[in-house]
Structure 1
Amino acid sequence: MVVLLLVLSAPKASSYGRFQDLCIDCGAYSETPDTDKSYVLWQTDEKFIKTGDNKFLSTSHTQFQMNTLRFFPKGCKNCYTLPIYDADARYLFRAGFYYGNYDGLSNPPSFYLEIDGNLWANVTTSMSEEMIYYELLYVTKKSRVRVCLIRTMDSDVPIITSLEAYYIIDAYEWMDNTTALYLHSRINYGADTSVDPDKLKGNHWAISLASITSPSSKERQSIDSSAECYNRIWKSKEMSNYVNIHANYISHYYLLGENRPPWPVMGYAIQSQNLTDSIYLSIDFSPRTAVQAYFVLYFMDPISRLAQNQTSSVEIYIDNSKMAVTDIPNINSLSYNQFHVVSLFSVPVNGSSNVTISPAEGSTLAPLLNAIEVFSVIDVSEGGHLFKCSSVLFIISFHFLLILVT
C-alpha cells in the first residue's frame, strides 16, 4: 500500500529511480523546469551516460534545449541507459538533434540511432536553425532501455540535443513487443500559425467561426501540453486547394476515446470544395523504400451544422485500394467521445503512397479530415544487437582502405 501511494503522488518518477516520463536536456549542466510545461523538469544527462563531452552553444534559442548538446568524439557506439517505469509498457521515445555548427567545421554529421539494439533511424543533421526530431512508439522489454548513437564515418561525430520518453496508456493498442512504430508525419489539417499555444491554457477555447483559405501551407510546431496527454507534436497545415475550417467553440478537455486526440487538433479540419470532390494526400516515405505502413486518420466535423438531417460519411483509399468506410460525427452531439479513428495496418508501401478520402454513398456533406498520423513498422522481434562496434569499425576501415588504394 505504501508503494502504491508513492506512485500516485509522484507519477513522473517512482521511488526506485525509474521514470514514467523522462526529459533529458543533453549536454546541460543543471536541471531546468520547462517554461511551457510547469510539471516537466528537464534532467541533465550525466546520470544516464558516462561517455561523450558537453558543449554549450553560443546561441540564445527560446527552446533552451538547443543551447547545449553532447558529442561523442571517441568510440563507435555510445549509449544512454534510461530507467523507465516498467517493462512491457508502451512508450513514446523522441530524440532531438541540433548541430548549430558547434565545432566550427560546417560539417553536420550523419549516424545511426538505435534502441535496445534495433535500428531506430539513420540520423541526418543539417545547418538548419531548427531542431530535427526522430520519434518511435515502442513497447519496452525491460525496465531499462538503451538508446545508442553509432558512428558510421570517421569524419562524422555523433551528437544529441535532447532525449525524451513518455509513458502511453490506452493508445495504439494493437502494437505489441514485436513491432515498433517509426513516425513519418503527424499533421493537424486546417490549422494555421495564428493560434498561440499560450492562449490554449484557459478552461475553454473560443474563437470566431471561419473558413480559412491560405495560399501556402503553414506549420505550428506544437500545441499546449494541457491538451496533449501523450506529449505528441502535431504539425499544423493549411491547404489552399481545400476549405480550411475550424470550430467556434470546443471544450478544453481531453477527447476520450481511441488515442485521445487533443481538442485543438479535432477543432480543425480540411474539407473538399464540393460534395462530389475527394481529398487527395501524398505521403512520402523516403529515404525508406519498401515498408509496412500504419495510417491513423481522425474524423470529426467541428462545425455546428444547423440542418439535423445532414449526414457525413467517407470512403478511404490507399493507392486506389478501398481500405475503410466511416461516418463523421458532428460536434452537435455534445459528447467528448464523438470522433472516429480509422487505423489501417499494415499497408505495404513502396517509397510513397496516395491517400484518397471520397464521399460515401448517401453522404450529404463534403468529405473532411482533421488529422493523420503515418508510421512505418519496424520489426523488433529479434531483440536487437544489429550493430557491433567491431563490424562498424571494419566497414569504416575498409572504406578508407579503398580510398587509399584508388
Structure 2
Amino acid sequence: MTDVSDYNDATTNILYTSDAKFINTGTDGNISSIYSNTVQRPLSTVRSFSHGDKNCYTLVPEQGKNNKYLIRASFMYGNYDSKDQLPVFKLYLGVEEWDVVKFNNNFDIVFKEIIHIPSTDYINVCLVNNGSGTPFISALELRQLNNSIYKTQSGSLMLYRRYDVGSTTNQIIRYEDDVYDRIWKPFSWTYWVPISASYTSDLLSANEYKPPPTVMTNGTPFLKFYWLPNDPSQQFYVYLHFAEVQDLGSDQLRKFDIFLNGDPLD
C-alpha cells in the first residue's frame, strides 16, 4: 500500500499495484525492520489515516455490478508508527459495518474477507476511526468469483473460518493452488490419523467451487468442529468439500453421517 511500481509477489506471483489510484487520503509507511523480513511484501507497507473519521477506497472492477467478488483487506501493525500501541478500528463496506479490526500483538496478521455482489459499478471499502487508535491497511484485494457459488438468501457473506482439514504440511494454501485465491489455513489435531491421497489431480476439485487439489488430497476420518457466535442473531453458512482419497474396490462404498448441533443432516 504505497505509491510504488507494480510488482509480482515472490510467493504467490500475484500482481500488486499501488493504492494511490484508489484513494487520495492517508500516509504511506513501513513496518519495523524487525518484522519486514518475515512477511510477504504486501504486508511490509501500510497506509494510515490519522485525519478524518472515515477514509474510503473506491474500487471499480472491470466486470461491473451484479457480479460476485471476494474482497480481502489485510492488516499487519508491525509497529509502523514506532508507538507500540495496537489500534482498534472499524471496517465498512459502503455504508454497512463489515467488521472490527484488532490485534493481539505487533506481528499479528489480520485478514478480513467478504463475498459481495455490488449493485453499482464501484465498491467502497472504508476504514473508520472509533477513537481507539489510527486506522491503517496493508493490502486490499479484489477477486471475481463464479456467480453460481456461495449463494445466500440475502446480503454479503463474511468469512468466519476456512480450513484445510487434515493438513500434513501445516502450510497456508492460496493462489496459484486456488484459482480464486482463497486462503486455506491448516487444521489438524495430534490425535488425528490423516488420510492422504497418493496422487494429486484436478479431478479432486472438479466442481464449480474449485477447491484446490492440494487441499482435497488430505482428510480425516473424524471431525468435530464448533464455535460460539459473538452475536446470536448471526446466520452461518457451512461449506463442506469431500473427495475420495483412497482406492476403493468395485464392491466398496464410503458412507458417513454429518450432524449439526446433534441432529443428522439429510
Give the structure-2-normalised TM-score.
Answer: 0.91
Flag the 1:253–1:303 CA change in 2: closer, same or farther, 3 A: closer
Flag the 1:149–1:42 CA change in 2: closer, same or farther, 3 A: same
Q: Which amino acid aligns with 1:179?
A: G
Q: How far has the Cα of 1:173 moved from its partner? A: 5.0
- 43-52 vs 255-264, greater mean Cα deviation: 255-264
Counterpart pick for 1:183 among 153, 159, 162: 159
Corresponding residue for 1:206? none
Matched, 1:51 2:25: yes
Q: How far has the Cα of 1:106 moved from its partner? A: 1.4
Instruction: Give the gaps of 5 or more residues in structure 1.
Output: 1-25, 194-218, 273-278, 325-406
Corresponding residue for 2:8? 33
Distance 1:146 1:243 in 2: 45
Q: How far has the Cα of 1:129 moved from its partner? A: 2.0
Q: Which amino acid aligns with 2:114?
A: L
Q: How far has the Cα of 1:253 moved from its partner? A: 6.5
Q: How far has the Cα of 1:170 moved from its partner? A: 4.5
Counterpart pick for 1:90 among 68, 82, 101: 68
Q: How far has the Cα of 1:254 moved from its partner? A: 7.2
Say if 2:216 and 2:243, in contact at 8 Å, map to a contact too.
yes
Counterpart pick for 2:211 among 261, 265, 272: 261
Q: How far has the Cα of 1:53 moved from its partner? A: 0.4
Say if 2:65 and 2:121, in contact at 8 Å, map to a contact too.
yes
Distance 1:41 1:242 in 2: 38
Flag the 1:28–1:243 CA change in 2: closer, same or farther, 3 A: farther
Q: Secondary structure at the match of 2:161?
A: strand
- 182-191 vs 26-35, greater mean Cα deviation: 26-35
Q: How far has the Cα of 1:28 moved from its partner? A: 4.8
Q: How far has the Cα of 1:54 moved from its partner? A: 0.4
Q: Which amino acid aligns with 1:53?
A: T
Corresponding residue for 1:148? 126
Instruction: Give the gaps of 5 or more residues in structure 2.
Output: none
Distance 1:183 1:284 in 2: 15
Corresponding residue for 1:220? 171
Corresponding residue for 1:76? 53
1:14-63 CA distance string (max 9 Å, x none):
xxxxxxxxxxxx1353322122344x320111110011100023423340
Q: Cα RMSD over matched residues? A: 1.9
1:259-291 CA distance string (max 9 Å, x none):
11111111000113xxxxxx3222343x44431
Matched, 1:67 2:17: no
Counterpart pick for 1:166 among 125, 140, 143: 143
Corresponding residue for 1:245? 195
Aligned length: 262
Distance 2:24 2:142 in 1: 19
Q: Secondary structure at the match of 1:103?
A: coil
Distance 1:310 1:88 in 2: 45
Corresponding residue for 2:184? 234
Q: Which amino acid aligns with 1:52?
A: G
Counterpart pick for 1:118 among 90, 96, 118: 96
Q: Secondary structure at the match of 2:74?
A: strand
Distance 2:150 2:160 in 1: 19
Flag the 1:308–1:315 CA change in 2: closer, same or farther, 3 A: same
Say if 1:110 and 1:122, in contact at 8 Å, map to a contact too.
yes
Corresponding residue for 2:252? 310
Alignment of 1:359-374 (within 5 A): none
Flag the 1:64–1:132 CA change in 2: closer, same or farther, 3 A: same
Task: Name the structure where strand makes up a greater proportion of residues.
Answer: 1
Percent of residue pairs bearing the same amino acid type: 27
Distance 2:166 2:200 in 1: 15
